[in-house]
Chains A and B, each alone.
Chain A
Amino acid sequence: METKPLVLVADDEDFFRTPLAGALRFFGYEVEEARHGKEFYEKVDQLMRDKTPPSVLIVDNQMPNQQAEPDSQWCGFERVKEICNAWKGYDIGSRVLFLSRWGLVDLPDSYRDDAAKKFRLLENDRWLSVQTPFCVLKNKIEICSSLGGSYGHK
């Protein structure tokens, strides 16, 4: 039986995360949801341990005012970097799609370090503005899913 590609959606805004997850389920994806950076990290970490890595990770790079991480405005991006670092041998960065207001231009210079570059998090293809039509987002998800369910261990 063909397994459905797993998409993990991390966004603190329920009003956006829920319909996005619903639409992806409608189009045949298995979806996991995370409400903040901490939950995102724990879920990805668990999925990696269970050897069921998500095919695509859609992450709101800015998730401020969360009880779990009250001080971290850019915790979406930070958590992605941490999980990439924790699972270094796996090319998690190539499965990430960041959602931000205007795209990569939003990210402050201070976050653009060598580690982010090494994990391929600063590539334009990884970043989408929140105004991106769903058909474009779906297209990107399909490209990421086509990389396959299992990550090549380097």
Chain B
Amino acid sequence: MQEHIEHPVGQRDDVLSLLSKIAGFIFETENPLSHAYEIVRQTAKSQDADISTLFVVEQNTLVLMGGVAFLRGEEIALPKEKHSYPLKWDVKTADDMKDGGLTAFVAVSGTPLNISSLEDLVSYSCHHGGWDEYIYPDPDSIKNSETGFGCMYAVPIKRSREGSQKDTVLGVFKIERRRNRPPFSEQDKKIFDLVAAHLSLLLQTYYRVQNRVFSDVAHAIGGGLGRSVTILTMCQEVIKNSNTDPYQAFEYLKTTLPNSIAMLNKAIERLVSVLDAARDPNKITHESIQCLWDLVRTEVELKSNLELNKTKCLISVNPPMTMETTLRLPCIQYHDLSSILGNILDNAVRHSGTSIPILIRLYEENSGEKSYLIFEVLDNGKGIRPEVIKEVENTEYGEVFHLPGTAVVGSGTGLRRVYGLAKLNKWVVKCAVYNGTTFRITTPDFRL
């Protein structure tokens, strides 16, 4: 009798494969892993590195998400197929990873990350990393804690509920320099630390949103759809055997069949609404919105540090976001906001003194029944001449893209972009000059 039983595992795999496709579709417009690698690549480029790689450790595989070597100014992409390895989770020494090479070994064992085990790493809340002593391990560079030829970071992306290594997803990125070049400085490392923190948030946001979609869809399938289908199979069996007791079969089907079809309809409606909600940024959950805000915060922090190159100023976000304000953030176009804040910060960092921090404030202001979300960037720089502001304010958005010499510092291009993007989003930018400059970006009534 046992051999007639069909195991439902195949069915589960089919559903998971479908869910992967749905999630892939939802996120195809902006693949966070590609975005994450782009950040690693740009960082490597700005810090004059010779090679950069981003791996993702998932299940039993270490996969290269992106890698590039810089050779005499040329970028040479590393082929992904040559840098993806099967993993053995019982790896203890580099010899155990013969097929995977040193990168796979360090990614799995965490050896150069100064942690005792992968379990330790998984328990870290953000990221962990440091100088990779496996790169050119000459005694002098090992002893010097302020310089190194390569940095390696592991970023926990998804943690297993049970603490299992196999169910944990890690991002591992490395930035290296050749031995005949000067090693990276402690200052470079500070920037790598910021990049790691940023990547951690970015990738965790992606997986959280993805998990939420998976969970909602799985709930819709498992709770309603799956059970409705099982009830239909009950009806099917009763129909097959209806000649044994036609009256009882009729009585059963009379109530069960319409009910199960109604349930099926409800379940499908629920599934459709879950998918619609997942694709509608206005219905995104609180958790992912909180992450979105964290991203804005770290992105401006990161940008200012990278642009400044020498970390002198401190950026603080004040006051912290309230739950209510956070819940309303999805109305904000994150990329445009990021671009606006980035441009304003460029100016602030360039023209501010070093002793007073630049302040970014985010708060809610109510006027009558309307509610406004306000971002303010305050600095203590020399201020902007009123005629420049007037000129910038009067620029049409389209003109921003036709300005010559976009990279010239002080040409006003950045500010034009700020005003242009704000106009496009129907936000208001106001610039006030006191002992420095305060930019105030106001969104229109942002209540959902």
How near does chain B come to A125, taking the closest CB pair, in angstroms? 9
Given contacts A103-B8, A131-B11, A143-B1, contact A19 B234 (CB under 8 A): yes
Encoded as 1 (CB less than 8 Å from any A CB) or 0, chain B from 222 to 246 comes to 1100110111011111100100010
Complex Cα spacing A101 to B229, Å: 13
Complex Cα spacing A133 to B260, Å: 14
Complex Cα spacing A132 to B248, Å: 24
Task: Pick the most buried of A19, A102, A109, A137: most chain B CB atoms within 10 A of its CB.
Answer: A19
Report yes or no: A130 in contact with B227, Cβ–Cβ below 8 A: yes
Q: Is B252 in the interface zone, CB < 8 Å from A? A: yes
Report yes or no: B252 in contact with A26, Cβ–Cβ below 8 A: yes
How near does chain A come to B291, taking the closest CB pair, in angstroms? 25
Complex Cα spacing A90 to B162, Å: 32
Across-interface contacts of B4 in A (CB, < 8 A): 139
Given contacts A19-B259, A26-B245, contact A133 B252 (CB under 8 A): no
Q: Is B6 in the interface zone, CB < 8 Å from A? A: yes
Report yes or no: B260 in contact with A26, Cβ–Cβ below 8 A: no
Report yes or no: B260 in contact with A19, Cβ–Cβ below 8 A: yes
Count of chain B residues with a beta carbon within 8 Å of a chain A beta carbon: 35
In A100-123, the 8 Å CB interface with B consists of 101-103, 108-109
Report yes or no: B6 in contact with A19, Cβ–Cβ below 8 A: no
Encoded as 1 (CB less than 8 Å from any B CB) or 0, chain A from 125 to 154 comes to 000111111111111101100100000000
Report yes or no: B227 in contact with A102, Cβ–Cβ below 8 A: no
Contact partner of B238 (CB less than 8 A), chosen from A13, A26, A140, A146, is: A26
Chain A interface main SS type: helix
Complex Cα spacing A19 to B222, Å: 17
Complex Cα spacing A22 to B260, Å: 13
Complex Cα spacing A41 to B299, Å: 55
Complex Cα spacing A139 to B237, Å: 12
In B280-301, the 8 Å CB interface with A consists of none
Q: Is A20 in the interface zone, CB < 8 Å from B? A: yes
Complex Cα spacing A26 to B246, Å: 10
Report yes or no: B237 in contact with A109, Cβ–Cβ below 8 A: no
Encoded as 1 (CB less than 8 Å from any B CB) or 0, chain A from 8 to 45 comes to 00000101100110110011000000000000000000
Task: Pick the most buried of A26, A108, A133: most chain B CB atoms within 10 A of its CB.
Answer: A26
Which range contains the number of A residues in contact with the other chain?
20 to 34
Across-interface contacts of A140 in B (CB, < 8 A): 5
Across-interface contacts of A109 in B (CB, < 8 A): 161-162
Complex Cα spacing A131 to B252, Å: 21
Report yes or no: B5 in contact with A129, Cβ–Cβ below 8 A: no
Complex Cα spacing A128 to B198, Å: 42
Contact partner of B226 (CB less than 8 A), chosen from A101, A108, A146, is: A101
Across-interface contacts of A146 in B (CB, < 8 A): 1
Complex Cα spacing A136 to B8, Å: 10
Contact partner of B259 (CB less than 8 A), chosen from A15, A128, A138, A139, is: A15
Across-interface contacts of B222 in A (CB, < 8 A): 101-102, 129-131
Across-interface contacts of B229 in A (CB, < 8 A): 131
How near does chain A come to B246, taking the closest CB pair, in angstroms? 11
Q: Is B43 in the interface zone, CB < 8 Å from A? A: no
Report yes or no: B231 in contact with A16, Cβ–Cβ below 8 A: yes
Contact partner of A131 (CB less than 8 A), chosen from B230, B237, B249, is: B230
Q: Is B218 in the interface zone, CB < 8 Å from A? A: yes
Task: Pick the most buried of B5, B161, B223, B245: most chain A CB atoms within 10 A of its CB.
Answer: B5
Across-interface contacts of A130 in B (CB, < 8 A): 222-223, 226-227, 230
Report yes or no: B249 in contact with A26, Cβ–Cβ below 8 A: yes
In B185-232, the 8 Å CB interface with A consists of 218, 221-223, 226-227, 229-231
Across-interface contacts of A133 in B (CB, < 8 A): 6, 230, 233
Nearest CB in chain B to that of A124: its residue: B7
How near does chain B come to A152, taking the closest CB pair, in angstroms? 20
Report yes or no: B226 in contact with A22, Cβ–Cβ below 8 A: no
Across-interface contacts of A19 in B (CB, < 8 A): 231, 234-235, 252, 256, 259-260
Given contacts A15-B259, A26-B249, A131-B230, contact A101 B8 (CB under 8 A): no
Report yes or no: B256 in contact with A134, Cβ–Cβ below 8 A: no
Report yes or no: B237 in contact with A138, Cβ–Cβ below 8 A: yes
Q: Is B12 in the interface zone, CB < 8 Å from A? A: yes
Closest 6 interchain pairs by CB? Answer: A101-B222, A131-B226, A23-B234, A134-B233, A133-B233, A109-B162
9 A-B pairs (CB sep. < 8 Å): A13-B227, A23-B238, A23-B252, A23-B256, A131-B226, A131-B229, A132-B230, A134-B233, A136-B6
Chain B interface residues toward A at CB < 8 A: 1-2, 4-6, 8-9, 11-12, 161-162, 218, 221-223, 226-227, 229-231, 233-238, 241, 245, 248-249, 252, 256, 259-260, 263
Known: A131-B222, A135-B237, A136-B6. 13 other contacts (CB 8 A): A19-B256, A26-B245, A26-B249, A26-B252, A102-B222, A103-B12, A109-B161, A109-B162, A129-B222, A130-B230, A131-B8, A132-B230, A134-B236
